[in-house]
Chain A
Amino acid sequence: MSGERHPVSRAKPGGVAARPIRRPKISRRQRREWLAAAVFIAPNMIGLLVFTLGPVVAGFLISLTQWDMLSPAQWIGLDNYRTVLHDPLIWLSLKNTLYYSVLVILVGPVVSLGLALAVDSPLRGVTVYRTIYFIPVVASSIAIAIVWKWLYQPDFGLLNALLRTVGIKPLGWLGDSQMAMPCVALVAVWQGMGYNMMIFLAGLKGIPAHLYEAAAIDGARGARRLWHITLPLLTPTLFFVLVMSTINSFQVFGEVYAMTFGGPGNATLVYVYYLWQNAFTWFKMGYGAAMAYILFVIIFVFTLLQVGLLGRRVQYEQF
């Protein structure tokens, strides 16, 4: 019966004896290979379970509690999520994050694409330019933000010194509530442009040369070539850059933390900075965790919207 090792034979309804079904035998060598594979995969799987999936589940459980990390957590169900809806600073931080995202997403990919087009040519020393444009990407974002904070400094900063040189009245930069957010966004664009440039460059290299040759024979040059060949074939790359930029911009923290602390007057209070304040300044871990889950839902919805609205317009090459 069950558990027997002999081949099992099944009779068909017609009474004709069916061929015996043989269970595939696993050889010792195969078993050893599977074991080796499991051993090789295990460190990664354990890492994923302990350091990724574990915190994801723990974060959700914490979001259902009131916990200050000092006293035991109290189970409060969905209260944290209800409180979020009535917190005016949440809505302000969301508005600020959206403003920042719009600035970064509108300016960033355009600048990066321009750079990629500029360095996508057989010009002498072009690799040097590419390397220089990539340097900000490898620098620490906090270090970058501190340097930019000094550049923006109203009295001794380089930018106001340059403005004074050309006879323009110095600006408030990060101290001005109107200008603070564009200033923070500029730093993010400046730091991310090298990375996006490399992705665009890879996309440009993937466009077959024969299409440009055919276009040249038809008399297309410059802008027409860009509009009718380069941009349509670059839509998968553009789509990727757009989605990634959106996700990253919603999670902005470092620049705000190092440059403005959410000021002046909450003008740069972005969502993750407010989350961090709740969790690690006021020790409202449950509330912070609930905010993190809400952010996940917001990013998920935005990504789905992008896939739904723009995904169909992406032209994948078929040659």
Chain B
Amino acid sequence: MEAGMNLYRVRRTFLRTVRHAGLSLIALTSLLPFLWMLSTSF
């Protein structure tokens, strides 16, 4: 029972992390032109 719950938590955390990573990557792509322009302005 305890092992099952732990497995569930690990799986949930893993999926959440993957989702955040994916969304962050898209966000970075979305901001890339702005960030690049900002960096060249310095």
Query: In chain A between 69 and 121, which residues have their CB closer than 8 angstroms to a CB of chain B?
Result: 115, 118-119, 121
* B30 engages A135 (CB within 8 Å): yes
How many A-B contacts at CB < 8 Å in the complex? 45
Q: Is the CB of B34 within 8 A of A129?
A: no
Using CB atoms, name the residue of chain A closest to B28.
A132
In the assembled complex, B1 has its CB within 8 A of some CB on chain A: no
Q: Once the chains bind, are A135 and B16 in contact (CB under 8 Å)?
A: no
Please give the distance in Å from B28's CB to the nearest CB on chain A.
9
Q: Is B42 an interface residue (CB 8 A)?
A: no
Q: B3 in the interface, Cβ–Cβ < 8 Å?
A: no
CB contacts (< 8 Å) of B24 on chain A: these are 129
Query: Which 7 residue pairs across A and B have the least CB separation, nearest first?
Result: A132-B27, A147-B33, A129-B23, A147-B37, A158-B36, A133-B30, A132-B30
Q: Are B36 and A123 in contact (CB under 8 A)?
A: no
Q: Which parts of B1-42 form the interface with A (CB within 8 Å)?
A: 16, 19-20, 22-24, 26-27, 30-34, 36-37, 40
Of the residues B26, B30, B32, B33, contact of A118 by C-beta under 8 Å: B26
Is B33 touching A115 in the complex (CB atoms < 8 A)? no
Say what secondary structure dominates the interface of chain A. helix
Residue among B16, B24, B30, B31 having the largest count of chain A Cβ atoms under 10 Å: B30
Residue A136 at the chain B interface, CB threshold 8 Å = yes
Contacts A/B (CB < 8 Å), 6 sampled? A118-B22, A125-B20, A132-B31, A147-B33, A148-B33, A194-B30
Shortest C-beta distance, B35 to chain A (Å), equals 10
A126 to B22, CA, bound (A): 12
Contacts of B22 in A (CB 8 A): 118
CB distance from A30 to the nearest CB of B (A): 55
With A118-B22, A118-B23, A119-B23 as known contacts, state yes or no: A150 contacts B37, CB within 8 Å.
yes
Closest-by-CB residue of B relative to A156 is B40
Task: Check B26–A133 contact: CB distance below 8 A.
Answer: yes
